[in-house]
Amino acid sequence: MCTLTYRLTESGYELFFNRDEQRSRAQAIVPQVDNDLNAIYPVDPVGQGTWLGVHQSGLCLALLNYYQAEKKATSGEFISRGEIILTLLTSQGDIIERLKDLPLSHYQPFQLCIFPEGLNITNKQLLLLQWDGENLTKQPHSPFFTSSGVDYPQVYQARKKAFEQIVSASAPTTEQLLKFHQQQQNEGKLSVKMFREDAQTVSFSHIVVGDAIQFNYIDYIDGTRSLASLKRI
């Protein structure tokens, strides 16, 4: 359960990400610089992985669950999807080939958004990969991505309508996208800043990749804000 949007700039891009989780899930560790990986990412203490990470090169990876294809474990347990981004940030070479080398059948389905180094308003090479439990495929990318474990078709249409009402299709601004990620409706499951009895939006991330890299983070559990940054190479 998450929502991701972005805008391209002359020097790079901005990424906006609402993370939705069960209210019972442990609070995440705020994004910090990992000097070994030269990357910034938050940590989910449950799986010791992450859903969002940006490298010093400008590469950013964002993972959303693909609930519509999730499966029941038939033998053993699935590996946490949270380790996928850290594994890809650690290894070298073509990112698609590296992903294919992972034991994908051991992971529940997911969607991986890849914002490559060099991405900007004139180099629009954004990539979306989808693992449905059987096949890894490239998918068309759109101005926003969202997931929900409850009533996905209805949720998607509601959030798509909100996006179209708030954000300019031809020239999205930072202010418009920040407003979109705060959008709420009377029926909480439909909201971009989601709330249900069992789950809610627990954090908001705003990554700015330009001449430098900034990772702005709001933890909605305790209201804290943090900023981590890296020089871009």
Per-residue pLDDT tens over the stretch 155-211: 999 999 999 999 999 999 999 999 999 999 989 999 999 999 999 999 999 999 999
Task: Give the distance, in angstroms, between the CA of residue 218 and the centroid of all CA atoms in the same chain.
Answer: 14
Mean pLDDT, consecutive 10-residue segments, the chain of 233 residues?
Answer: 95 98 96 97 95 97 92 71 95 89 95 96 95 94 90 95 96 98 94 96 98 98 97 93
- pTM, 2 dp: 0.95
Least Cα distance to 111 among 136, 129, 99 occurs for 129
Give the integer Cα–Cα distance in Å for 159 and 144: 9
Least Cα distance to 114 among 64, 159, 39, 49 occurs for 64
Query: And the tokens for 120?
Result: 């900007």
Least Cα distance to 50 among 72, 68, 32 occurs for 32
Which domains, from first to last, does the chain contain? 2-149+198-231 (3.60.60.10)
The per-residue pLDDT for 164 is: 97
